[in-house]
């Protein structure tokens, strides 16, 4: 009875990833703020594969206390894979940005992800077959105009996860850390980023992936030996890659 944890599972990539892992027969621990959407997801999973056990948790992970509470509850189960998908964006200039929204974005996109990653690595680094997959963005490798702060949060995710992956390799750990970097994906992301009620991807963006397509690309990353799964923001081609960011050799403190 091993479990895959997916944060931000009530919509978008998280929702579709839960369905994709259910099809693979993986037991699931799903967390999000919206209980009704999680219940609907569980019902859909039961139709796809009734043998899959699904545990639901309702938490706002932008609240630090909730992050620790949820990890403690999730860790009561035997964990195999942890997918940090929860996050949201912001569209607009730095000068005009709402700092309350930005603080919540930083807590969710970076603080919660770092805490979960750290705790999961501490407990499972030497467990065979374990994986940590953090969701970054094409904006975690390229700064996009009027998305500066959001891109900065995703640069952090990319750098942190790539660095962690190489740290685990250097230590001979059994866990694999990986980063998925989608480009524009049809989900609730644009509505939240823009602060609007509706957004129609079709006809507005020349190219985008559906959340279901991105979930399948995440599965490809999960099943591969590569560290990075990145969508090209221009061509929308998907590439499984070794770490992209430069990685310096650690300074040897024993050298006088």
Sorting pLDDT into bands at 50, 70 and 90, what band is 197? low
Model's pTM, two decimal places?
0.92
3-state secondary structure of 10: coil
Mean pLDDT of the chain: 93
| Residue position matching structure tokens 């969710």 | 108
Residue 193 is predicted with a pLDDT of: 63
Residue 180: which residues within 8 A CB-CB, separation 6 or more?
133, 134, 135, 136, 214, 217, 218, 221, 229, 230
Beta-sheet strand order (sheet of 228-231)? 54-58, 27-32, 2-7, 78-84, 131-135, 176-181, 228-231, 238-241
The CATH fold of domain 2-241 = Rossmann fold (3.40.50)
Residue 191 is predicted with a pLDDT of: 61
| Closest listed residue to residue 26, CA positions, set 219, 225, 213 | 219
Sorting pLDDT into bands at 50, 70 and 90, what band is 209? confident
Residue 249 is predicted with a pLDDT of: 76
Residue 140 burial by CB count (10 A; 0-12/13-18/19+): exposed, middle or buried?
Answer: buried
Residue 253 is predicted with a pLDDT of: 58
Contact 244, 228 (CB under 8 A): yes
pLDDT above 90 for 86? yes
Q: Find the angle CA(87)-CA(4)-CA(18) to the nearest 5 degrees.
A: 65
Sorting pLDDT into bands at 50, 70 and 90, what band is 202? confident
pLDDT above 90 for 107? yes
3-state secondary structure of 205: strand
């Amino acid at each position: 009875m091993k479990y895959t944890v997916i944060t931000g599972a009530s919509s978008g990539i998280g929702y579709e990833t839960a369905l994709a892992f259910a099809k693979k027969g993986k037991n699931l621990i799903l967390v999000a703020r919206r209980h009704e959407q999680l219940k609907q997801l569980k019902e859909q999973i039961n139709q796809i594969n009734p043998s899959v056990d699904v545990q639901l948790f309702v938490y706002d992970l932008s609240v630090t206390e909730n992050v620790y509470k949820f990890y403690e509850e999730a860790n009561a189960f035997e964990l195999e894979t942890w997918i940090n998908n929860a996050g949201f964006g912001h569209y607009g200039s730095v000068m005009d940005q709402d700092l309350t929204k930005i603080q919540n974005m930083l807590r969710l996109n970076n603080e919660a992800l770092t805490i979960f990653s750290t705790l999961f690595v501490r407990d499972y680094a030497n467990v065979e077959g374990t994986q940590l997959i953090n969701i970054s963005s094409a904006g975690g490798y390229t700064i996009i105009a009027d998305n500066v702060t959001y891109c900065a949060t995703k640069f952090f995710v990319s750098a942190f996860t790539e660095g962690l992956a190489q740290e685990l390799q250097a230590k001979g750990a059994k866990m694999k850390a990986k980063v998925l970097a989608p480009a524009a994906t049809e989900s609730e992301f644009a509505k939240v980023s823009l602060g609007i009620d509706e957004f129609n991807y079709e006809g507005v963006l020349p190219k985008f992936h559906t959340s279901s397509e991105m979930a399948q690309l995440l599965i490809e990353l999960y099943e591969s030996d590569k560290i990075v799964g990145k969508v090209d923001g221009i061509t929308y081609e998907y590439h499984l890659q070794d770490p992209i960011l430069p990685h310096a050799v650690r300074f040897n403190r024993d050298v006088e």
